[in-house]
Amino acid sequence: MNLRRFFIAVVGLLLFSLSGVMAQETQTLRYPILREPEHLNPFLSNTRATRHVLVNVYEALTGLAPDGSGMAPVLAESWDISPDGLTYTFYLRRGVLFQNVAGVTYESREVTAEDWLWSMKMFLNGDPAISRHPDYLRSIAGAQAFTEGAASEVEGIEVVDDYTLRITLEKPSHRFLIDLQNVYVIPREAYEQLGDEFANRPVGTGPFIFDSWEAGRGIRLVANPDYWDEGLPKLDVAELVIVPDAETELEMYRNGALDVLVDFPTGQRVAVRDEFAAEYHELPGLNVRYYGFDMSQGFFAENPLVRQAFAYALDRDRIWNEVLEGERIPGNFGILPPTFPASDVEGYRYDLDRAAQLLAEAGFPNGEGLPEFELYVFASDADSPAHQIYKESLAQIGVTLNIVAEETSTYWSHIREPDVIFFLSGWSASYPDPSAVLNQLAFNGNDDTFYNNFEVNNLLERAMTITDDGRRNTLYRRVHEVVMADAPFVVSAYSKVIYLLKPYVRDFFAPSAGVYRTPLKYVWLEN
């Protein structure tokens, strides 16, 4: 690492967070983000970097209870479900106000059912430039027709009165309440009046108001003085400090310029754990990391045996248990993290002999006749030894792999283009249910792999309507087996939620989904 650049970066970020150092009495939390958010548009949010901010500015009808025990009311004070499981009647919390921000004028700031109707229609918009998430509400009656432009209204959403919203589903869905945690209420006035600025100036009902964003330095959130939940937030300011790398983040944490550390320098997890034993926290996570193939076109789409060979060629135990010191759990099983139901399927354990055999069966003995391949990775992960180890293993069976690093600002859109057929990706579930992964990565071409299997789609559709856990998970296990046989991705690892927390930081509830979903409204600093 260039020491001069490292020193400049540390000094600059220390200055950015200096207000927090001097303002402990005013309850300022300094919280690191390793990647700059691409935007702050909730309709398009698809990465952890954006969620860091959005989960504290916006709110949904439902949310995960702080202790992780299940779904709890947020902006819906309560709800009723009809005996047939099709109709949900939500009773909205009264007195919830949209945030008062410069540049936005409201006729009324109070949130009503009409605001929910508008927000849900926006999420269901079929234009991917407007919304990436019609899937959150796809189980609602008439949702598909609306998304496809065949209807001007959503049949299954009814405004009963200002504080009552009735939603009818096409079929029963066991995960409808789970999906709702990602559907925020958004003021139409902010969306329309801010125009292009809305993408970088979020306005919601949440405990924190977006204050400023200094590129390369950080995002500042301030307490919402009109927040509906009395006594919250306890913090005055949340400074989300954008750090260039994990080494800088660790140095800032050591120097007291950060109150939380969420990224560990490569190969230093054990040393850092030992250095900060009393401040170290670890629990199994809900993220899966994988290398994805383009399943819609190109070489890999046409060669399933080669995909399987690539899956056998990844030495996950060496990468994650040895070189990276247990940073993640080796992905020797399927695409579901091992704490999930239906995760117990056979994966692709490292076996170079089997990989070579599969290449020969595919017509490429010792790699003869294969083109050179490019593996795209996002720039912040380019130095990970995982990719180099993988490259070296593939070379042993005659495969040439070139690693291409790309900046985050263009990476996630580029990997969906036809010139990229192999890439690094991952998915973080918000809840430990198989559908939270399979519906994103294996259903109807949703994922960046464009994986689309008729049998899998049908099984996932059936599973959504089954409320009995045993019967539903039997279907998910079958789906999992089919997906793994198709090998649209090379599973690399499952996450651990690992972080350091200063001893004066209280009520920091880190969910298994990851600290990026931590509700900062409960956090406070002990003097």
3-state secondary structure 378-418: EHHHCCCHHHHHHHHHHHCCCCCEEEEEECHHHHHHHCCCC
Distance CA 499, CA 260 (A): 7
CB atoms within 10 A of CB 104: 19
Cα separation, 522 vs 471, in Å, equals 38
Provide the whole-model pTM. 0.77
In sequence order, the 6+-apart residues with CB closer than 8 A to the CB of 334 are 343, 345, 346, 347, 480, 483, 484, 491
8 pLDDT exceeds 80? no
Q: Is the peptide bond before 202 cis (omega within 30 degrees of 0)?
A: no
pLDDT band at 48 (very low <50, low <70, confident <90, very high): confident
Distance CA 446, CA 460 (A): 13
**Token pair listed for 182:** 């990602």
State in words which class domain 284-495 has.
alpha beta
pLDDT of 132 strictly over 60: yes
pLDDT at position 475: 96
Quick one: pLDDT band at residue 17, thresholds 50, 70, 90? low
Contact call for residues 260 and 505 (beta carbons, < 8 A) = yes
pLDDT of 1 above 50: no
Q: What distance in Å separates the CA atoms of residue 502 and residue 491, rounded to the nearest whole number?
A: 34
> 180: which strand partners?
none
Cβ within 8 Å of residue 129, ≥6 positions away: none
Strands 401-406 and 373-378: parallel
Average pLDDT of 32-49? Answer: 90
Residue/partner pairs of 197-202 with CB below 8 Å, 24 or more apart: 197/103, 198/41, 199/39, 199/40, 199/41, 199/44, 200/39, 200/40, 201/40, 201/101, 201/103, 202/40, 202/41, 202/42, 202/53, 202/54, 202/57, 202/58
Q: How confident is the model at residue 516 (pLDDT cuts 50, 70, 90)?
A: confident
Measured at the CA of 272, the angle between CA 5 and CA 268, to 5 degrees, comes to: 65
pLDDT over threshold 70, residue 309: yes
**Sequence ranges of the chain with CATH classification 3.90.76.10:** 59-200
What's residue 527's pLDDT? 83
The CATH superfamily label for domain 59-200 reads Dipeptide-binding Protein; Domain 1 (3.90.76.10)
143 membership: H or E segment, kind and range: helix 143-147
Residues 67 and 64: their CA atoms lie apart, in Å, by 8
**Measuring CA to CA, which residue among 204, 230, 164 is closest to residue 59?**
204
Q: Which two tokens stand for residue 454?
A: 């008729």
Q: Is 395 or 175 the better-scoring residue by pLDDT?
A: 395
**How do beta strands 28-33 and 62-64 pair?**
unpaired
- Within 8 A by CB and 6+ apart from 189, the residues are 98, 104, 105, 106, 107
Q: Which residues contact 82 (CB under 8 A, 6 or more apart)?
A: 88
Question: What's the average model confidence in pLDDT over 241-259?
Answer: 96
**Is residue 509 classed as helix, strand or coil in its secondary structure?**
coil
What are the start-end ranges of the E strands in 332-488? 373-378, 401-406, 422-428
Calculate mean pLDDT across residues 170-186.
92
Residue closest to 492 by CA, chosen among 357, 375, 374: 375
Q: Considering the chain, what percentage of its residues have pLDDT values greater than 70?
A: 95
> Are 342 and 480 spatial neighbours (Cβ–Cβ below 8 Å)?
yes
> Each residue of 284-305: pLDDT tens digit?
999 999 999 999 999 999 999 9
Task: Give the confidence band of 121 by pLDDT, cuts at 50, 70, 90.
Answer: very high
319, 323, 329, 333: CA torsion to nearest 10: 20
Phi (first) and psi of residue 14, to 5 degrees: -60, -40
CATH 3.10.105.10 in the chain, residue ranges: 284-495
d(CA 204, CA 475): 38
Amino acid at 339: T
pLDDT at residue 13, as a whole number: 54
Cα–Cα distance, 6 to 18 (Å, whole number): 18
